[in-house]
Structure 1
Amino acid sequence: MTKRITLAVSGSISAYKSADLTSQLKKRGYNVTIIMTKAATSFITPLTLQVLSKNPVYLDVMEEKVATRIEHIDLGKETDLFVVAPASANTIAHLANGFADNMLTATALALPSTTKKLLAPAMNTKMYEHPLTQKNLTSLEEIGYDIIQPKSALLACGDIGRGALADVDDILIKIEEILHEP
């Protein structure tokens, strides 16, 4: 049976890497559904991810395209792995505090407790190292999120430090590990 991955893309300059991640997941035979925050659409278009995933891209929690479905509930029920990559500081804070104010956070809150979850942070070093971000990441780990650490690199803002999205290959390795756990 084909594993279903929901890839949630939040607003980060690293959002463009979600195209490569989507493509690589499809090549490995996964069914990939995309959720994007409004901020993510400033960095990459939904059409790009729709073409690569061969599935609709979900943007608005209030838009129900089929009267018999509640998308954020049904997507949660249908996924084997919920991946947030990139995960911005804003999205991490919303997830850690139970906000459900967009399609990404509403779907995350509606996930069955048994659904596996992976978070790949991407942000400025100071934002990543901020005690509140670290507290939020710890809170998410405590409720079952796997966290793939960002790497140290020259960031888009010109700073050098930890905060760059983990390499797509490393994210893929972690996805494979999670999906093949007993």
Structure 2
Amino acid sequence: MEPKTRRILLAIGGGIAAYKAADLCSKLAQAGHQVQVVTSRAATEFIGDATLAALSGRPVVHEVFDARFPLGSHIELTREIDAMVVAPATANLMAQFAQGMASDLISTLYLQNTSPVLLAPAMSDPMWNHVAVQRNVEMLREDGCHLVGPEDGWLSCRVKGTGRMSEPVTILKTLETLFSDRATKID
């Protein structure tokens, strides 16, 4: 049986792990999913629109106010999506989500979205282990968000610790499991 095509909103936060988001976007598209990429302003410092547009087959969106979306990008981009994947999910994005802030496109999309949310955190070890970040993570779990990672290993700050974004194949498998689990509950 052919896997069902899903509509995925891939939100890319501003961290060095954004380079892995290109591979994730590619893997999602190869799995037959329709991928719409949105990036934070900071993410554009790490990865370019041309790469993401080529991999997704759609223009990348950055702004809440975008003339291509007369009803608002946050409304039109969340319509009929099957999941919102945030990779990397930075400490800043997770704090905005946990506090219900709508200060940029990604946080506004999060508040508008009614589909499952999969967060793939990525940050330094001290940041990941900070009490405020852990408090936000707990709030997000209580709010129904799903997390994959972070993992232990070599970090971009040239130390080993916890904070590596999970590999794209792991994120994809987690997303597929999430879809499978939801389908089982509905049946």
Alignment TM-score, normalising by the size of structure 1: 0.95
User: What secondary structure, in the 3-state scheme, does the structure 2 residue paired with 1:13 have?
Assistant: coil
Q: Which residue of 2 aligns with 1:142?
A: 142
Distance 2:122 2:138 in 1: 16
User: What secondary structure, in the 3-state scheme, does the structure 1 residue paired with 2:20 have?
Assistant: helix
- Structure 2: give runs of 5+ residues left out of the alignment: none
Distance 1:98 1:64 in 2: 25
Tell me the amino acid that sits aligned with residue 98 of structure 1.
G
State how 1:58-137 maps to structure 2 within 5 Å.
Answer: 58-67=61-70, 69-112=71-114, 115-137=115-137
Q: Which residue of 1 aligns with 2:152?
A: 152
Q: How many residues align?
A: 179
Tell me the amino acid that sits aligned with residue 112 of structure 2.
A
Q: Which residue of 2 aligns with 1:11?
A: 14
What percent of counterpart residues are identical?
A: 37
- Superposition deviation, residue 78 in structure 1: 2.3
Distance 2:66 2:19 in 1: 24
Q: 1:144 to 1:151 in 2, by over 3 A?
A: same
Q: Which residue of 1 aligns with 2:39?
A: 36
User: What secondary structure, in the 3-state scheme, does the structure 1 residue paired with 2:79 have?
Assistant: helix
CA deviation vs aligned residue, 1:96-136 (integer Å, no higher than 9, x gap): 11111111110110112xx1110000000000000100010
- Superposition deviation, residue 77 in structure 1: 2.1
Q: Does 1:167 align with 2:167?
A: yes
Any runs of at least 4 consecutive aligned residues in structure 1 with deviations exceeding 4 A, and if so which? none
Distance 1:63 1:111 in 2: 18
Distance 2:131 2:69 in 1: 42
- Superposition deviation, residue 66 in structure 1: 3.7
- Superposition deviation, residue 12 in structure 1: 0.7
